[in-house]
Amino acid sequence: MPCFDFDLTSRDGKARTGRIRTPRGDIRTPAFMPVGTAATVKAMMPESVAATGADILLGNTYHLMLRPTAERIDRLGGLHRFMNWEKPILTDSGGFQVMSLTGLRKLTEEGVRFRSHIDGSRHMLSPERSMEIQRLLGSDIVMAFDECTPFPADEETARNSMELSMRWARRSREAFGDRSGHALFGIQQGGVYPGLRAASAEKLREIGFDGYAIGGLAVGEGQETMFGVLDYAPDMLPEDKPRYLMGVGKPDDIVGAVARGVDMMDCVLPSRSGRTGQVFTRRGVLNIKNARHQDDPRPIDETCTCPACRSYSRAYLHHVFRAQEIISSMLLTWHNLHYYQQLMSDIRAAIAEGRFADWQAGFHAERAEGDVARL
């Protein structure tokens, strides 16, 4: 079986392009991963997700372990076959959602005991159990089990949490074992404290991973604080491995993260927003439910080649959103995912051609113009 590999192909400042090679196909970086929480990217057929240009999806361990369960997915041939997505899949460790979605939980050195938010049933997640679930799912990129340090956290709290995550990182590495063609990523913690981020990075390097994530961000700290951490945190991680910023983000978060050396990101924002009528364009965000669109025969974006923009007017999209028709979620999600993948493609081209700073200035200038004038 071919191995998991990462080649850096170009650099421009701290920004980089590269290619992650997996047995299920290559991932062009910087990459944006749409989120397929419950074995589906909501409102999208898998082939449509692929058509937007996505090379990889993210699946959620927490949701899948509860329903339909990892064991059932394994019996049915694994997550790729189950959800009809043959390209790579990254799964998170479940740690973040256990902490954010469950009310009753108990955290110990061993792991986290909790009750399902669906039916109250009792479960346990530990580094070993998380590795087992991600193996049963057949995930291509497995994430180490960690505790996402809450924000804000004082330095002592952040230190204790980070040190626990590093002990769990070692247990994750041991439980993962040697699985050719599959990768295990470690997760840097340490909150907003440079010394803790450095200690975490050193510990992760010592254990050795196939890639490194920057955890504990995009948890309500705001863009300025996040960029403050990203000014130094990615530089602490090995240069020759992919760097993954978890749970990010808005288009301008993505651009700022790439400028600081990040290679991979994921976020529910484009798909979730597609269901709430929020539309991303190169001229910023617009809300399709706004009355200004009801007589507008123009597409969302004249230059966008997605099905929503090619064949439908703002007036139609406004109407089906207002009427709560299912096609509204389908078309707006498709447009948003297409916009995000186009953004990544533009970013990769700009870096490869050594004009990322200019491209970035143009990106911000175009957004500052705002939506096209009302008819």
By CB under 5 A, the residues from 285 to 304 that bind Zn ion are 304
Beta-strand pair 278-281/284-287? antiparallel
Q: Is the C-alpha dihedral spanning 101, 174, 218, 285 positive or negative? A: negative
209 in a labelled binding site: no
Sign of CA dihedral 86, 241, 256, 358: negative
> Phi and psi for 39 in degrees, rounded to 5?
65, 30
Does 3 show up as a binding residue in the annotation? no
Q: Which is nearer to Zn ion, 210 or 301 (CB)?
A: 301
In the complex, minimum distance from the CB of residue 375 to Zn ion, in angstroms, rounded to a whole number? 19
Q: Which of 92, 140, 210, 263 is catalytic?
A: 92
CA distance 291 to 287: 9
Assess contact for 131 and 176: CB atoms under 8 A.
Answer: yes
Contact status, residue 225 vs residue 322, Cβ threshold 8 Å: no
Which position among 140, 253, 266, 301 bears the catalytic label?
266
Q: Please state, as a whole number, how many other Cβ atoms lie within 10 Å of the Cβ of residue 178.
A: 5
Per-residue binder mask for Zn ion (CB under 5 A), 253-292, x = binder: ----------------------------------------
Is residue 51 at the binding interface for Zn ion, with CB under 5 A as the rule? no
Q: Residue 11 or 275: which CB sits closer to Zn ion?
A: 275
Least distance in angstroms from the C-beta of 305 to Zn ion: 7
* Member of 309, 320, 347, 350 binding Zn ion (CB under 5 A): 309
Say whether 74 is catalytic.
no
317 binds Zn ion (CB under 5 A): no
18's tokens? 């590269």
Please say whether the beta carbons of 181 and 130 come within 8 A.
no
DSSP H or E stretch at residue 223 = helix 223-230
Nearer to Zn ion, 112 or 309 (CB): 309
18 annotated ligand-binding residue: no
For Zn ion, the closer of residues 196 and 320 by Cβ is 320
Cβ(356)–Cβ(362) below 8 Å:
no
Q: Coil, strand or helix: which one is 241?
A: coil
Annotation says 266 is catalytic: yes
Q: Does 306 bind Zn ion (CB under 5 A)?
A: yes
Residue 306 annotated as lining a ligand binding site: yes
Give the interface with Zn ion as residue ranges (CB under 5 A).
Answer: 304, 306, 308-309, 335
What residues are labeled active site? Answer: 92, 266
Binding residues for substrate: 92-96, 146, 189, 216
